[in-house]
Structure 1
Amino acid sequence: YFGASILTGSDSFQEVDVKIERPTYNKPFLGGFRNMSTGVELHNAGSQTKPPKRPHKGIQLFCKETQTAVEKNKQQQTRNTTSTQMTKIGLYVSNMTDKLITPGKYFTAEEYHKRRLEAVIVLQKYFRRWHAINLVQNLKEQKRLRLAWKAEEELQKKREKEEKLRREYEKKLNPKTKEDFELLYHELELWMQEETERINRTLTGAERKAALCALLEEETQLIACIGMHKLDANLENQQKSILHLLRKCAQPRRWKAFDGKITEMDTQSTLRGKELLEIYRSITKEGIPKDERISVLLTVKCTVKEHECKLTQEIVALIDREIDLLSRDVKECNLEGLRKRICTLFLQYIKIPEFNPEVAGLLKVPQDPLTLYKKVYFCHSCENYLPSTEFPLAANSRTIGRCHSCYRLENEARQREAYLKYRLILEDLRKSEVDYQDDSKIVFLVQLPDMQYLIENIWNCQSALSASSDLYDLVMVRWDKQHEWSPWNTILLTKEEADAHLKLCNLQKTYEAPFISKMEQKHIRAKNYFAQIPVMSSFLRRSNNQAN
């Protein structure tokens, strides 16, 4: 605001307040002029009246650019001016550079399309030739790859077979485990049967009896040799089991983090286990110098003196005795028995949870005897009380029979059967069922005698498709992969046949009706055998309900 004086009369003025509004928009250019001497530009003034607003129509409007093209008019002129000139009177134009053009043969639209069709046929002919060459080359390459793959597969099978034979030969030559001795006794029984058959076929009378007596004597020597190997293997396996137990005691705690990394932590009990493991390794080492042996014995003595009991006192007394004998230069062969006693007593010391807390959860015999009352059974053959895990229980068992050791001893003395092949089939079957992750239970109820009955009596120890009788190459899989494995939903095949069978979607369209009927008969026989088992009856009813 500012004040202004307005003349109202001859000598009177009136003060008026004038309100000035600052414009919120740019003043439009309305022309003007420029002073030529000073260069100052003077623009024509616009009115200060505020422009009226357009009335609101009640509709929201948006501004956008128009698509009108900007046009320009500009004159063009060719760069070279040309003209034509004809010969006339008074003017001569040379025709040396002129060309004479004559029209060609006229052809119709039908002839034109015919030429195009012929050209297309030629192009198709060459394209098809090129395509056929590529197709043949691809087929040749696929055939070459197929033959190479087939040769590689045959070579791999040959290598696996040779490796299996080599492992079997190694097991027979240097048996280590119970399965190795079982296989060795089985080979001995096969050899005895062949020799007996040969003697009965070729000899008679006194010669036959003498040959059978010589064969019996040779069998006795072989059994004694196998027994010596078994004693050596038991000693070696016992030492390995002891070291395995001590390694477990010394193993640190492990857990997996969210990022997949393994974290390890040593506790006081695991450190104690490591210390006892190192001491046991040192005390069982042979061929060390006398000074080092005395140092190891003093370490053991300091370790066991931490706890006062009858066992530690006996260990300390034996250590003092060996140190005294070493100081008198006694031969090591005369100290062998004493050293074994020290190792045995120190191992007993390690297995006591008060001295080695980590061993408490690894001992087979629990510390509380009351926990054994419901899990201990009496073996009527060896007359020993053993835990339930030492007794083989078939699916149709109703009472507790003999223990594993008695069954193994009877097998070595009489039948001499090799159950390794059946055990491998059962283990492979359980692994494959775990991979399905559909909570299958029947396969874990079936035991080794049940699997042997299925293979020998139901499937006749051969593949259902190729009749292959090599049990090491046979596997059991589901007949219908949509349902869990059971003795009435299984088929015995080779490994290659099993892989192809599990890829099938519709069994009715793949196999012929006689083959399916044959499989159903085998499944009915298996149902009749396992229906006698109370545990299997519930699964059998459930499978019947699903079939209906």
Structure 2
Amino acid sequence: MAAVEPPPPTEAAAPGPETDESPGAGSGVPEPPLWPEYADPNYVMPTEIEVKVGRVGTAATGMGSYEEQTIICVAVEKVPVGFRKPNLGGYRHKRTGLRYHHAGTQTEARTRPPRDMSSLRERDTQTYETVSRRTETVRESGTQMRRVDLDIDDTSDLVVYPKPYFSAAQQLEVNRKACITMQRYWRGYLARCRAHTKRMAILTMRAEEAAQAEMEENQAAERHQREIKRRLQPRTKADFELLYNELGTWRHREVQKIHDGVFGDTAEAKRRANAELLAKESKLLQTIDNMKGRASKEGRQVRVRKLLKMMSQPQKWELGDGHFVDVDTPFSVRAKELMDLYEGLTAPLMSTEERLNVLLSVKWTVAEFDCTLSSDIIELIEREADLLNRGRSSSTMTGLRQRVANLFLEFIQTPEFNPAAQQFSKVPDETIYISPETYTTEFAAT
């Protein structure tokens, strides 16, 4: 980085003719330079400069060793560049105002002499030059051939015979057989992998088929049990329609049997068979009607309990972080208390003392409101309490208890007594008819 200081401001000279009587002329006072030395645009760098480099070394004498600094002068030659150097930018110091410019330099690249390619692929170039050298081994040894005057033991000698000549074609055949062997093992491995994959796919498919068959069998069994339960314990309208349709099918089939003479061809036999069929049909219809009454009663109880539970549920309020909390409002607490009283009224197998406590709680609850409904409930509660004090059995008061429960349920469903029932009450459809005369006189003006 090179720091460049901005030039100091100079005062402009007044215009006028140049004379020798300018200030400072002939007085011997040097004029200040227009540009600093490091920023003079007219400066020309010499072709060769001398750089002094200091090197610190250690020198030893008879008295000891000490550090010695040596100055080395290095001549640096400037190589002219045939292009203009690019502006690499820079930055300015905020406090001092000095400008720093990025600078770079590069030494001249060395050029290698061209390589001689004339004798690159000749026999003399590619022939290895051998060198014979003599050496002395650590262990002395020698060889001796048999002579006429010298007998040598050759019992342990080994005769080595050369093997048959092995041509390149034979080597290629050996390689080909080895490749075939490797290919055979590799293809066998791939075939075993494919067989294992197919085997696992078949096992998986069979397991899925078995699971699907078992699931279908279970679904069929559940469906069969559900159909049987629909016929033995019908609950919905569709269940009773199914029973009536099956009863009609059975009756039609029995009538066809009577006409075909299965029970006899005489008129008396057919009359007797029709009478028996009518009695059976009447009995089945009566059974279906009884089941319908029980289902209606149980369904009503389920709906009532569900309604009371929904009234007594706490409200869900959303917090600022998106979570919900359950909050018991006065309306939900009131609905919960009324639901507990209704469950106490409809609970079976209660002792006389427990029943009297429940009746007393219900009486004080409805006595807060002065209306016809609360008066009727209080009257029935006092009548049941009087019968309990007289020792009457519970079976004789079934109808009375049912009336008390129904009236108290009506009390719970009234928004005036239970504010939580407002959102579950049925709003009557009050359609307002406006005649053309009324619209013209009252609404058109507005």
TM bucket (normalised to shorter chain) is 0.5 to 0.7
2:411 aligned with 1:343: no
Q: Secondary structure at the match of 1:29?
A: strand
Q: 1:40 to 1:290 in 2, by over 3 A?
A: farther
What code does the residue aligned with 1:120 have?
C
What code does the residue aligned with 1:86 have?
G
2:430 aligned with 1:370: yes
2:100 aligned with 1:41: no
Partner in structure 2 of residue 465 of structure 1:
none
Please give the per-residue CA displacement for 1:130-189, whole angstroms capped at 9, x wherever unaligned: 433443343333223322322332222122112111111111011122121111112111
CA contact 1:305–1:312 (8 Å) conserved in 2: yes
Partner in structure 2 of residue 236 of structure 1:
298
Displacement after TM superposition at 1:308 (Å):
2.5
Q: 1:219 to 1:172 in 2, by over 3 A?
A: same
In the alignment, the residues of structure 2 paired with residue 268 and residue 100 of structure 1 have an alpha-carbon distance, to the nearest angstrom, of 119
CA contact 2:54–2:69 (8 Å) conserved in 1: no
Partner in structure 1 of residue 223 of structure 2:
164
What code does the residue aligned with 2:57 have?
G
What code does the residue aligned with 1:223 have?
L
Please give the per-residue CA displacement for 1:478-536, whole angstroms capped at 9, x wherever unaligned: xxxxxxxxxxxxxxxxxxxxxxxxxxxxxxxxxxxxxxxxxxxxxxxxxxxxxxxxxxx
Q: Secondary structure at the match of 2:430?
A: helix
Displacement after TM superposition at 1:346 (Å):
0.6
Partner in structure 2 of residue 109 of structure 1:
168
Q: 1:320 to 1:209 in 2, by over 3 A?
A: closer
Partner in structure 1 of residue 373 of structure 2:
311
Q: Secondary structure at the match of 1:115?
A: helix
Partner in structure 2 of residue 285 of structure 1:
347
CA contact 2:313–2:332 (8 Å) conserved in 1: yes
CA contact 2:54–2:70 (8 Å) conserved in 1: no
Partner in structure 1 of residue 181 of structure 2:
122
Partner in structure 2 of residue 136 of structure 1:
195
Partner in structure 1 of residue 423 of structure 2:
361
CA contact 1:33–1:43 (8 Å) conserved in 2: yes
Partner in structure 1 of residue 278 of structure 2:
216
Displacement after TM superposition at 1:40 (Å):
6.8
Q: 1:182 to 1:260 in 2, by over 3 A?
A: farther
CA contact 1:255–1:262 (8 Å) conserved in 2: yes
Please give the per-residue CA displacement for 1:347-369, whole angstroms capped at 9, x wherever unaligned: 01100112222222223x21x54
In the alignment, the residues of structure 1 paired with residue 156 and residue 333 of structure 2 have an alpha-carbon distance, to the nearest angstrom, of 112
> Any gaps of 5 or more consecutive residues in structure 2?
1-52, 89-103, 107-135, 434-446
Partner in structure 1 of residue 235 of structure 2:
176
Q: 1:254 to 1:86 in 2, by over 3 A?
A: same
What code does the residue aligned with 1:140 have?
R
What code does the residue aligned with 1:87 have?
T
Aligned length: 329
What code does the residue aligned with 2:68 have?
H
Q: 1:84 to 1:359 in 2, by over 3 A?
A: farther
Match of 2:391 among 308, 321, 329: 329
In the alignment, the residues of structure 2 paired with residue 40 and residue 107 of structure 1 have an alpha-carbon distance, to the nearest angstrom, of 75
Please give the per-residue CA displacement for 1:250-299, whole angstroms capped at 9, x wherever unaligned: 12233788999653222222222211111111111111111111111121
Matches within 5 A, 1:80-91: 85-87=141-143
2:329 aligned with 1:267: yes
Q: 1:255 to 1:210 in 2, by over 3 A?
A: farther
Partner in structure 2 of residue 193 of structure 1:
252
Partner in structure 2 of residue 398 of structure 1:
none
Query: C-alpha root-mean-square deviation of aligned residues, in Å?
Result: 4.0
In the alignment, the residues of structure 2 paired with residue 148 and residue 312 of structure 1 have an alpha-carbon distance, to the nearest angstrom, of 68
Partner in structure 2 of residue 487 of structure 1:
none
Partner in structure 1 of residue 101 of structure 2:
none
Q: 1:122 to 1:150 in 2, by over 3 A?
A: same
Partner in structure 1 of residue 93 of structure 2:
none
Q: 1:29 to 1:352 in 2, by over 3 A?
A: same
CA contact 1:87–1:93 (8 Å) conserved in 2: no
CA contact 2:56–2:67 (8 Å) conserved in 1: no
2:118 aligned with 1:58: no
What code does the residue aligned with 2:59 have?
F
Partner in structure 2 of residue 251 of structure 1:
313
In the alignment, the residues of structure 1 paired with residue 159 and residue 365 of structure 2 have an alpha-carbon distance, to the nearest angstrom, of 125
Q: 1:338 to 1:95 in 2, by over 3 A?
A: same
What code does the residue aligned with 1:153 have?
Q
Q: 1:255 to 1:213 in 2, by over 3 A?
A: farther
Higher mean C-alpha deviation, range 144-153 or range 179-188: 144-153
What code does the residue aligned with 1:119 have?
A
Please give the per-residue CA displacement for 1:433-482, whole angstroms capped at 9, x wherever unaligned: xxxxxxxxxxxxxxxxxxxxxxxxxxxxxxxxxxxxxxxxxxxxxxxxxx
Displacement after TM superposition at 1:342 (Å):
1.3
Partner in structure 2 of residue 29 of structure 1:
55
CA contact 1:176–1:233 (8 Å) conserved in 2: yes
Q: 1:81 to 1:323 in 2, by over 3 A?
A: farther
Q: 1:372 to 1:216 in 2, by over 3 A?
A: farther
Task: Give the fraction of aligned pairs with identical amino acids, expressed as a percent.
Answer: 31
Q: Secondary structure at the match of 1:345?
A: helix
Displacement after TM superposition at 1:331 (Å):
2.1
In the alignment, the residues of structure 2 paired with residue 184 and residue 44 of structure 1 have an alpha-carbon distance, to the nearest angstrom, of 122
> Any gaps of 5 or more consecutive residues in structure 1?
1-26, 64-79, 374-548
In the alignment, the residues of structure 2 paired with residue 286 and residue 252 of structure 1 have an alpha-carbon distance, to the nearest angstrom, of 28
Displacement after TM superposition at 1:54 (Å):
12
In the alignment, the residues of structure 1 paired with residue 334 and residue 153 of structure 2 have an alpha-carbon distance, to the nearest angstrom, of 122
In the alignment, the residues of structure 1 paired with residue 200 and residue 413 of structure 2 have an alpha-carbon distance, to the nearest angstrom, of 66
Q: Secondary structure at the match of 1:370?
A: coil
Greater per-residue helix proportion: 1
Structure with max Cα Rg: 2
Question: Please, what TM-score do these two structures have when normalized by structure 1?
Answer: 0.52
CA contact 1:85–1:93 (8 Å) conserved in 2: no
In the alignment, the residues of structure 1 paired with residue 321 and residue 244 of structure 2 have an alpha-carbon distance, to the nearest angstrom, of 51
Displacement after TM superposition at 1:309 (Å):
1.9
Q: Secondary structure at the match of 1:355?
A: coil
